[in-house]
A = this chain, B = another copy of it.
Amino acid sequence: MPVSPIAPLSQMMAEYSDPSQCPVRNVLDQLGDKWSVLIISALAHRPYRFGELKREISDISQRMLTQTLRDLQADGLIERTVFPTTPPSVEYKLSPMGHSFLVPLSAMVDWAFEHFPAIREARQEFARAA
């Protein structure tokens, strides 16, 4: 039962022969990143400060957290607010566009959750065959 084929993307592959111009690749290269997904997921419930995020996503390096947050901010998915306390604290939260991204993202997450057992099984099967 083939699902409705990814019409937009197939057009796009033909249309944007220069990969750097393709909207989908442009966007998903950034947002498909594993840290982006985790950060956006965390910010889905509530705003976080830098250090909170670092603790929540325990295995991210400070370097990648800084960098990914800045990229997401540049793309307009999150908003960064500095509070002039001492020490200054910085709050990150989803923008409206960031919120809208939760729709496709949660579809992905649901799929992953649902099919993880099958995938793990396939991996074991594949390892046996090799």
B residues in contact with A122, CB < 8 Å:
74-76, 97
- Chain B CB within 8 A of A51 CB: no
The oligomer's copy count stands at: 2
Majority secondary structure, A binding face: helix
- Chain B: minimal CB distance from A60 (Å): 9
Whether A64 sits at the interface, judged by CB under 8 Å, is: no
Instruction: Say yes or no: A13 contacts B28, CB within 8 Å.
Output: no
Tell me if B4 and A25 are in contact (CB < 8 A).
Answer: no
| Besides A3-B103, A32-B108, 17 new A-B residue pairs in contact (Cβ under 8 A), listed by A number | A2-B99, A3-B100, A3-B106, A6-B41, A6-B102, A19-B58, A19-B59, A26-B119, A27-B115, A32-B34, A32-B37, A74-B127, A76-B123, A97-B122, A100-B111, A101-B115, A107-B108
Q: Does A110 contact B (CB under 8 A)?
A: yes
Interface size on A, residues (CB 8 A): 64
CB < 8 Å neighbour of A113 from B3, B8, B99: B8
A63 to chain B, nearest CB (A): 17
